[in-house]
Amino acid sequence: MPQRDKRRFFRAPGRVNLIGEHTDYNQGLVLPMAVEREVRVVVLPRPDRTVVMRSANFPGEVIFNLDDIERLTDDPWGNYPKGVMKVLEEEGYRLGGAELEYDGDIPAGAGMSSSAAVEVVTALAMLSLINVSPDRVAMSLLCQRAENEFVGVNCGIMDQFISAMGAHDHALLIDCRDLAHQLVPLPLEGYRIVACNSRVKHSLVSSEYNRRREECTAGVKALAEELPSVSSLRDVDAGMLERCKDRLDATVFRRCRHVIAEIDRVRQAVCALENGNLARFGSLMNESHVSLSRDYEVSCPELDLLAASALEIEGVLGSRMTGGGFGGCTISLVREDGVESFCRILAEKYTSETGITPEFYLCRPMDGATER
């Protein structure tokens, strides 16, 4: 049989988060959906323990042995799949060597989780080659661990989870405390989710992300001194926070206020969707953006401009930054027949104020990772 007949094809999607930002690492709720843009990989098994990886988006090859997986400091993409293979081996899966060709159309740096998609597609492909059909929750956790421990990015579970578990026409409500999850139908009759890429990525992303995590931890510690049952911000409501205000540094107080209100907004957003109340859903998106910008301070002038300008356009029910922040995308809930003029008007406004041409992506909720 010619070698190429042994090739197998896998895909894993990127995501946008509809609401529930910076709540995953606080044991909160999130509501992401997987999108059409994805990472694809073609895999050809090898009889040895050598892995050869190529990417259509980067020059050169990454070659290593599964017995000796090392992180390289200046590799722009190889550490993600390497980390996954390392973690799988550590977990006791004896992988086989392979040639992997990656390709994809998730815009880099747009905050649509291209790295989580690379991780998830790699885990699915490498496990499938040894005839393991993985439990999706366990696979997401291993991918997150690869990113935390091997790549060195302290992300939460949301991005890997939705890339592995998304479903056509649905968002996924994830409870990041116990990983209970539930598909939420997205009855967007007459409306569309439109992502707008600011095409900026401020260098603060990872240092500020880690700082926010520390501020939340500091908040929990101070709150627990008065309320011993509190072990995460998930255990706190607005009244409790207000009562303990004097114990918290002013910045930490605002960070906690965002997280607590945002978790509640996710609950309300799910109700709004269940009741087909898109106007309410849109207002919650707007509140989320203001809170991320003012209380959590993870927005930036470009995202604020996009979100505020979107709301001035006819037929827009809501707009907010999505993902970690400091650049990347906003998402807006836009009346279907107004999508074209929405993109034109928003692009004109954004370009005239920043000199940058934004990009737009229509987002349809798609299935999580699959073999193709």
- For 61, phi then psi, to 5°, come to -130, 150
* Binder among 104, 107, 324, 327 for ligand GLA (CB under 6 A): 324
How far apart are the C-alpha atoms of 319 and 289, rounded to whole Å? Answer: 7
> How many CB atoms are closer than 10 A to CB 121?
30
CA dihedral (72, 76, 79, 80) in degrees, to 10, reads 170
Q: Is 120 in the site for ligand GLA (CB under 6 A)?
A: no
N- to C-terminal Cα separation, the chain: 21
Spell out the long-range contacts of 67-75 with Cβ–Cβ below 8 A and sequence spacing 24 or more.
71/150, 71/151, 71/152
Amino acid at the residue 13: P
The answer to whether 310 and 195 have CB atoms below 8 angstroms apart is no
State the nearest-atom distance from the C-beta of 344 to ligand GLA, in Å. 29
Task: Classify residue 179 by burial, with Cβ atoms within 10 Å: 0-12, 13-18, 19+.
Answer: middle
State in angstroms the smallest separation of the CB of 368 from ligand GLA.
16
Q: Find the part of the chain contacting ligand GLA (CB under 6 A) among 92-100, 150-158, 233-241, 341-349.
A: 150-158
Tell which one of 143, 158, 173, 316 touches ligand GLA (CB under 6 A).
158
Say how many C-beta atoms besides its own lie within 10 A of residue 124's C-beta: 28
**Is residue 18 near ligand GLA by the rule CB under 6 A?**
no
Enumerate the β-bridge partners of residue 189.
none
Report if residue 119 touches ligand GLA, rule: CB under 6 A: no
Give whichever of 50 and 268 is closer to ligand GLA, judged by the CB atom.
268
Does residue 159 bind ligand GLA (CB under 6 A)? yes
Query: According to CB under 6 A, which one of 10, 14, 25, 284 is a site residue for ligand GLA?
Result: 25
Catalytic residue among 5, 68, 159, 264: 159
Residue 159 annotated among the catalytic residues of the structure: yes
24 binds ligand GLA (CB under 6 A): yes
**Taking contact as CB under 6 A, which single stretch among the options 3-11, 155-163, 165-173, 236-244 is the one that binds ligand GLA?**
155-163
**Nearest residue (beta carbon) to ligand GLA:** 156
Residue 365 in the binding site for ligand GLA (CB under 6 A): no
Chain residues in the site for ligand GLA (CB under 6 A): 17, 21-22, 24-25, 155-156, 158-159, 323-324
Catalytic residues: 159
